[in-house]
Structure 1
């Protein structure tokens, strides 16, 4: 089928429909597609953010650059029009049905390619789709336990986009360099500790473990600062705690200023990891 027939805006967290097209054809196949869309909306948190689904002669999120430009434009307009707190507080289905006016206007534009061609730039979307092609859902995916089927569970891994973080700051870069320095110092002292253990059996090998754990904690904090991951703030705090524990254990081998330096650098890395937030946090709704 060519052109846009139906569009719906739903809240990702619970699948609550927020708005939808009100003038759609009462076609049997389209009715069946809308049933599949309703099932899909209940499982959105378990799917990649860009998917396609074939249902008879129709597609949900038709896999073309034009269709994804349409969806992207609707989402941006919805974000601008409605405050996220209002969206989160909505309890009734179709609380924002008035947004249908925007859907109809946008749908009309996208169903008239001549008038559309001069108003959108598809280059960015083409690049996005090439780098991250939409995932093709199947009926098994929709009816699988918690949104996953045996076929798809493995394929979902790695499909979600890597979240981009805010630009680096000078203080963040300095903290990262100092953290690498602390890791290098711990590694060097750990190697020397191994030599001491080999030369003297009375040496405590646990010091070696403490030095190497300190190295791992420092480098892991740098990784969390540079790249997005789930629970990165919690992980960074745990790495800080590990640095503190290691330095407390190494109290006999380091003076107070050395210990304070290592702990302070780790604390700065935890702070900068917390301050460096992801760019363009996704809203709790989708189209």
Structure 2
């Protein structure tokens, strides 16, 4: 029986998903835990190392080291030792496949989507291979958990914090102020008419002056002599 349902690799500093397993579960409860995992991924920098959040049917486990974290949604029947052993195996596989420079420069979600094949293989191995075949690895993780127990988170810790999701805060939109134009007064209308009349008179004078200059070109030079 499958006990590890979903797994993903994220970048710790900003929660950017780098790769994830194919999702075959679409129940409402499972989708709710996917949202919880996504919210928690944005705050992994607050919880270095290992941690768990358990509910009635599902649990979230995560393990981070450096800027890479592996996360999983498991059945509540899945032992924590097995979940963390799975996450550590996944972490080693991912960091062996991609260097820190590539991980740091990733700018879009699921930039290493091809790693999904490895996630599926490791997930299948832990879901269907007998635990006796992984005894040494499980014992190692169990000793580590005794020395340094994982952080235990409540369901509230996995909720969307202060409405933050995908790195964006909700915007509070206010209606634009409603400006009303004042009606034009009689004095304003009279001023506008006078300005138009003055402009028209100046235009007519300019046209007449140009016509007079063209008809009597000598008058222009005479006027210059008189003024000099």
Please confirm whether the aligned pair reaches a TM-score higher than 0.5, indicating the same fold. Answer: yes
Q: Which residue of 2 aligns with 1:5?
A: 5
SS in 2 for 1:109: helix
Cα-to-partner distance string for 1:255-275 (whole Å, 9 max, x where unaligned)? xxxxxxxxxxxxxxxxxxxxx
Equivalence map 1:195-210=2 (5 Å): none
**What is the deviation of 1:141?**
2.5
Partner Cα separation in structure 2 for residue 118 and residue 137 of structure 1:
31
- Alignment of 1:17 with 2:17, yes or no, is yes
- Alignment of 1:93 with 2:76, yes or no, is no
Q: Aligned pair count?
A: 145
**What is the deviation of 1:47?**
1.4
SS in 1 for 2:133: coil
**What is the deviation of 1:43?**
0.4
Equivalence map 1:13-162=2 (5 Å): 13-61=13-61, 64-114=80-130, 117-119=132-134, 121-143=137-159
Partner Cα separation in structure 2 for residue 58 and residue 2 of structure 1:
12
With normalisation by structure 2, the TM-score equals 0.59
**What is the deviation of 1:64?**
1.4
- 1:135/1:2 CA distance change after superposition, 3 Å: farther
Contact 2:4–2:127, Cα closer than 8 Å, also in 1: yes
Q: Which residue of 2 aligns with 1:246?
A: none
Of structures 1 and 2, the larger Rg is shown by 2
**What is the deviation of 1:138?**
1.1
Q: Which residue of 2 aligns with 1:210?
A: none
Q: Which runs of 5+ in 1 are unaligned?
A: 148-287
Partner Cα separation in structure 1 for residue 33 and residue 3 of structure 2:
15
User: After TM superposition, what 4+ stretches of structure 1 lie above 6 angstroms from structure 2?
Assistant: none
SS in 2 for 1:38: helix
Cα-to-partner distance string for 1:162-194 (whole Å, 9 max, x where unaligned)? xxxxxxxxxxxxxxxxxxxxxxxxxxxxxxxxx
Q: Which runs of 5+ in 2 are unaligned?
A: 62-73, 165-228
Q: Which residue of 1 aligns with 2:197?
A: none
Partner Cα separation in structure 2 for residue 74 and residue 58 of structure 1:
20
Contact 1:74–1:103, Cα closer than 8 Å, also in 2: yes
